[in-house]
Structure 1
Amino acid sequence: METFHLGRAFKILDLEGLRWEGRPIMESEDIQGMLLLLRKANKANNRNTQHKPRFGLMDIRGTSRAITLIKEKVQRIAPTELSVLIRGESGTGKELFAGAIHSESFRREGPFVAVNCAALPENLIESELFGYEDGAFTGARKGGKPGKFEQANDGTLFLDEIGEMPLSLQAKLLRALQFKEIERVGGTKPVSVDIRLIAATNKPLEQMIEEGTFREDLYYRLNVIPLDIPPLRERIEDVTVLLELFTKRVKFNKGTGAIRWSAEALNAIYKYHWPGNIRELENAVEYAVSMNVSDRIEISCLPERIIRSVQSASQSQAATLNTRTFNSKTPMVKQPTLHSSNSDITPLNGETKKTRDESPPTANSISQEEIEAILDALAQYGTTTKGKEMAARTLGISRATMYRRLKIINSLGYFKEEIK
C-alpha cells in the first residue's frame, strides 16, 4: 500500500479576488503530483494579517557578543523546518526571538499564532489548541471552532510556557507533532495540519522529567534546536542600547520633550542586576519618566526596589573589594559619589566635553577624588575587562583614559597586585 502526504502550500497566483495555491503530493521525499486549491484571496489575507508576529529580527537590540551570536543562529535555523526550544528567564523576550525565527523563515507569509500555556485554564487548553466540534461540551459554539493548530496551518505555532502544559495533554501534543494531524475535542476524524512548532520555557524541563511532570519523548521532540537567551545581567553592555530605545519610545508615546538621565540615575541602572530582565528595564524607564518633573531624570525617579538594591550592593561589594584587593597599607577610601563635573553626562551616547580627557595623566594630575571614584566603580563592576569597561562608562571616561589612570593608581600602590 502506497502512502502519500501533502507538502506545504505555496501561492501561485492572485487574480480578481481569488488565490490559486499549490500543495505538492509527496511520497517519502519525492513529489508525485500537485493539488491545486482555489480560495478567496481576501479570506486568506485576512487570516494571515490577524496572526502576524509583532517582532522581527531587526527588533532584537544589543551589541553584546551573546546577542550577536544568537542573531546569527536565528538566521541559520530560520529556513529549516525543525522544532525550536527557546529557554530563558522571564522577561528576556522569548516571543521576540520566536517571531524573528518565523519572519526569517519560508513560512513568513503564513500565520504566526502565539499561545501562552500558563494563561489558559487546564480544562480549556485542549479545546483552545485542538479545537472542538459542535456539541462537544456545554457552551460549545454551534458548528464547532478550529483550534490554534488549525489557525497556524502553513505557518508557525508558538507555545510559550510549555512547562505549564498538563501532563495529560502532552501525549496528544506529541502525537500531533509526530503525525501532523490533530483531532478536535468531540470529533472522530483526523485533521491534517502543517505547522512549524516553536516552544519556550523558563522551567528546568530536565528536572521536571525526573519528577515525572514532563514527558521525556516530548522534550526531545521539542528540543531539536535549543536556543538559550542570556539574562540581561550577563550582557550588561546591552543596557545602553535598550535604555536609548525605551527612552525614545516613552518620549514618543507621551509626547514629551528632551529626556536626559543624571549620572547618579545612570550609575544605578548599570549596577542593578535586573532580575526581571528587559521587561523590568522597560517598565523602570516608563516609571522614571512618569515620576520625572524636569528634563533630567534623577535617581529618585527610579523604582524604590532598584535604589535599595543598588545601595545595598554598593556597601557589600565595596567592603569586599577593599578587604581582598587593596593594599592593607592604603587607608580605606570613603564611598564617593560622582561629582558635579559628571552631571552633564548624556546617557545615550558617549562622553561629554566635560568628562573627556585624553591627555596622559600623571601622579600630580589625578586627584584623590578621581582615584576614589575609580576605586568605587571597580568595586561595583570588578577588575575584569568587562568590569573596567562598565566602570569607565559609568564615570563618563573612555576606556583608554581609564587604562591610563589605572596605570597611575597602580604606581601609587593602591592594589596588592597590578591591575592592567
Structure 2
Amino acid sequence: MPSPDVLDQLPASIVERAAELDRRDPLASLREEFVLPDGVVAYLDGNSLGRPLTVTRDRLPRFVEQEWGERLIRSWDDRWMDRPTVVGDAIGRVVLGASAGQTVVGDSTSVLLYKLVRAAVDARPDRTEIVADTENFPTDRFILTAVAAETGRTVRWIRPDPATGVQPSEVSAALGDRTALVVLSHVAYKSAFVADLPAITAAAHRAGALVLWDLCHSAGAVDVHLDAADVDLAVGCGYKFLNGGPGAPAFGYVAHRLQRELVQPIPGWMGHAEPFAMGPDYVPASGIRRFLSGTPSILGMLPLEDMLALIERAGMPAVRAKSVLLTGFTVAVADEVLASCGVTVASPRDPERRGAHVTLEHDAMRAVVARLWDRGVIPDFRPTRGLRVGLSPLSTSFTEVATALAHVRQILTDPDTPAG
C-alpha cells in the first residue's frame, strides 16, 4: 500500500513549487468544471481520453429528453443536419487556425484518414510514392500501406531518431517528382516531439506534393495554424484534448483550394448535394460537406461543443502556455528525483519542440504503471519501457503531477517492484 504521506518522497521545495504554480495558474479554476471523482488520485492520460465536463454530464440527459425525445426526427431539420460543419467550423476557429468551411466532423480518425489519403493520391495520378515515417502511430502506417497496395504505389519510409522526431531535412531528402503525398504527425505519440509543420509543408509543396498532418496529439493542446502554413489536409480525433468521450467523432480539414479537386472515395448520402432527393446518382455537395459519408454521431458532438467553448474561453495561447509549464515541471521533477532511480526522459527538452506529454523510460515501467493504476494514479504505458505523463492543460494541476511522480518514486524504490 502507498504511504499516506506519499509527497514525502519529494523534496519539500518541489511540493512547494507545485503549490505555487497552482496558485499562480490563471486557468486553475477551470479544473473544477471537469468531473473529478474521489477515487482518482491523479489522471495523467488526458492525451488518450480526456475527462468529461460537468456541463456535458448534465447536458446529455436533457438532449435525450428534448432534442431526441421530444423533437425526434424533426431535430434533423431543426439543427442536426448542419452540426458536422458547425462543430467543424468551431474546431477550425478555436484550435486549428482555420477559417470557416474547411473542417468537418464525422467518422472515426481512421476512416477520415483513409478518405483523405486516398483522395489525395488519386488527385496526383502521375506520382507513385507516399512519404511517411516509421515512428508514426500504427493506424497511420497501416492505412498508408493499404492505400499504397490498393493504388499501386509505394511508401517511402523515413526512419527518424525517436528522440528527435522527423526533421525537415529528412523529409526534403525523401521528396522527389514521384512524391504524391507526405503524411506525418504534428506531435509524435511516443515522445511528444513537435514537427516543424510550416517548414515541412513548404518543402512538400516545392516538390509538387500534397501534405496531410495527423493532429491527434495537437488539437486543443498545441498551437496549430493550418491556414497560415498553407496546409493541404489534416485529421484529428475528438477524444483526447477535445474531451469528446470514448469513440468521439474525428475531424477532417481540407483547404478551400482543394475541395473541388479531391474526390472522396466513400460517397454517402450525407455528403450528397441533395441528401433527401434519393436519386440514382451521387452528386457531391459543395464545399467541405462533400467529405461526409454516412450519418454522423450527433450525440458524440455534444461533448466536443462543450469543450470547445471552454477552450475558447481560456484561449489557445493560455492553454499552450500552461502545457509548457506542466511538461517543464514534469521534466524537472524527473531529473531531480527519478533519475537516481534509473528513469530517463524520452521527450524533447526544448519546450518549443515538446507537445503536451512527457515520456519517462525505465525497464520496470510496465509493472510500475499497473501498480499506479491500483493506487488511482493513471498514466499509460507505451512499449517497450515508456510511461507517458499525459498533461491535459485545463484539467491537470501541478500538485496532481507532483503526487503522481511521488508515487512513481515510491514504487521504484520498493524492493517488490519487478526489475523489468
TM-score grouping bracket, smaller chain normalisation: under 0.3
| TM score, norm. by length of structure 2 | 0.24
Q: TM-score, normalised by structure 1?
A: 0.24
The structure with the largest alpha-carbon Rg is: 1
Larger RCO (CA under 8 A, 6+ residues apart): 2
